[in-house]
A and B are shown apart, each in its own frame.
Chain A
């Protein structure tokens, strides 16, 4: 079983839409959680860390449910520039485990 599982998409949404991505992780000892964004043929870049209390950064909201081993990312008011692949990442004992990514296409 993969450490981190994500729906690969693609999610095709119109500008202004709200879209949600989900991710599950298999090891309950995982310690910290992140969403990274990766543009085509570029390196992954940190979008936001994810905390049990939930956290928000502008149009982006991330949630963590440790009991269900589930992480989510909500994007409100989607912009064309949000088109990218979103990678769910967990850290356990200083090792980072990546999902395969969820592709988002925001259309005009």
Chain B
């Protein structure tokens, strides 16, 4: 069964350091999402790509976060510098751009701890 791949699974970093997460969506899925989930809350959208273009990054803290999907396939999310409040689960998801019934498929996530 096709899966969304994410790495690393876990990351511990010191505040003010740079950290990067990688995501490879399901083949053929044009839409890719990065979500952040704080414990006890639902996932919140950080950035949405349609192919290589950013569709929505209104909730991305652009002073420290950046995201790219250069060839419209895999994607990288970077944080520089990391802050204590960035500790969370970072989830990548993808979906077919096939209309309103399409579901989102999630990767296993990267659990980030900033110390």
Residues of A within 8 A of B (CB): 4, 8, 31-32, 34, 41-46, 49, 87, 89, 91, 94-101
Contact = CB atoms under 8 A, between A and B. Distances in A.
User: 7 shortest A-B CB distances, which residue pairs?
Assistant: A98-B42, A31-B100, A43-B106, A32-B100, A100-B42, A98-B43, A46-B103
16 contacts: A32-B100, A32-B102, A43-B108, A44-B106, A49-B101, A91-B102, A94-B31, A94-B50, A94-B55, A95-B45, A95-B56, A96-B95, A99-B42, A100-B40, A100-B41, A101-B41
Chain A, interface SS category: strand
B91 interface: yes
Chain B interface size range: 20 to 34
B97 interface: yes
B101 A44 contact: no
